[in-house]
Structure 1
Amino acid sequence: MRASRLLSLLLLLQNRGLMSAAQLATELGVTMRTIYRDVEALAAAGVPIYAEQGPAGGYRLMDGYRTRLTGLTADEAGSLFLTGMPQPAAELGLGAQLAAAELKLMAALPTPYRDASLHIRQRFHLDAPGWFREPEMVPHLLAVAEAVWQEKVIDIGYRRWAPRPGTVTRRLHPLGLVLKAGVWYLVAGRDGEVRTYRVASIIELTTLAETSSRPDGFDLAGFWRSHVERYERTARSTTCLVRLSPQGIRILPDLFGAETGRLATESLGPADGDGWRQAVLPIESIEHAATDLLRLGAHGQVLAPPELVARIGETVRGMAVHYPAG
């Protein structure tokens, strides 16, 4: 443990130059007293490290000194695919490995490339979860990731919502993990088919000694693309007929997304005397559509299907009770 910390301290000074004991202690998660001892140990081992006194002082390496101890461990190298994604890395238990891997990678880069990478990091940041959403609690994510990596069969208890809500048990052959809009999904084989499972819905998990089987030529990215396309087609297979004001037509893409806006625009009928036009919108279900379409406010009117018209009418009448005419 101490050897790893000494190397990290050395790489920090090599990458960043002058650093105070307080800064080093914060980076390494130790006390300043530990930093003092570690600096003494490095100096005793022949590392040309020296202290600069004063309020802006700290420790630095002698100019021109560079360590060659920058080889990545297997765990550190495996964590590099999550560079720029600290939250997912932490959820997978790879936060420390990612930090160490980045330090070693930076130390190995020539100075111009190292400066360029720091320049990029200061200007681009990836934040995967959507707005107003806390990251999901995924207590079994690490166990799932280990099963994927070690190619082990797992038994899970899974909370599902369709076709009937309840808890089911499944024996799965894990194939991969996907992070989609801040939500983790497990792609796994079951009964000869490849399916997806939301990791947050796993309520219990047992890893078996049995080795999982992987379909020949399986491509995780290709499967996920097809899955997303299929899901979006199925989820939007039902349609409704709406009447839209000019403002309603303009705000459609902002409210329902570019694809829905495009489909609606392609279906627009001629304008009536008030300038309103009819359009066909894809919807996921009556329940979802009743909520979504209310966002049009006074700029939209649902004409069909009848059950959607009735659902929105009930909602509007219920809301009107709380907002009586003045």
Structure 2
Amino acid sequence: MARGEQLSRQWKMIHTLLASRLGKSASELAEELGCTRRTVYRDLEALQAGGFPIATETRDNRSYWTVLNAGRQQVPMAFSTAELMALYFGKEMLQTYRGTVFYDAIASLISKIKATLPPGYIDFLDRLQDRVDAGPAPRKDYTRFGPMITDLNTAILDEKKIDMVYFSMGRQAETHRTVHPYRLRHVEETLYLIGYCELREQVRTFAVDRIESVTVTGEGFRMPGDFDLQGFLEDSFGIFQGPPETVKIRFSPKVAGYIRERIWHKSQQLTDADDGGVIFTATVAGTEEISHWVLRWGAEARVLDPPALRRIVGRHAAAMAEHYRKNPD
């Protein structure tokens, strides 16, 4: 039997006993859990060995199993096994934000849940944690940005302007800006601030890890009533903004399956090609961001439209080819 199935069944058994004021017989447990009485006895023995205060009492010549002092146990009854796994998985997914309010808050929540439980429960949760893993991935280290992210959250919630020093990667220069912070947005392991920039007089996006300093001012702001934040973001292929462009890209049969299995953009349309490939069509904000995506697929992707995107990708591909021609080793 799979270890995960056993853990799930034992977890349900604990909650079934805690929810029952008079206890449950082995037969009742077997029926509710969909297993044999022999399995029930084996699980009860394992739970007792793990430290759960499980005992039996006899009524009308039948044995009933109960959890001692169940009425006083501060057990989070609302959590199912799946919900706990989702909580642990969420913590793993937030590894990028270790040291910030996002990661610290979920870690604190899990610690509070564990603090209310007897040793057997804690052992169960520790085993459960070993069964969820977000996997390795390139990540930014936001540890040193923890206080800044807290300040940004405060400014967003209180609708207070911020003064900040921002480093532009494109211009390789710092600028001082006053920004009305609207929202934080996570895109591909990067956290962005979206807000109105008084310097540029328009809504802009800022990579949080390129904000050098932040001061929350006492001056308030109001997001314009006619500003649609979702509408501002909907055409983006990630986070970049630009005029709407309808792009058409042909993918070879070798990678067509990878393209078909994901939703890359809300406007995408996929058309099967005669050779087994697929043609991807979407309307996106600008061409810069999607050009990076096309280049990821190498020679397996070919831009059909628009011509401007064909030229951008072509220039990058030519420069790469020239680099390797000059430096074959």
Q: Return the TM-score normalized by structure 2.
A: 0.48
> Normalising to structure 1: TM-score of the pair?
0.49
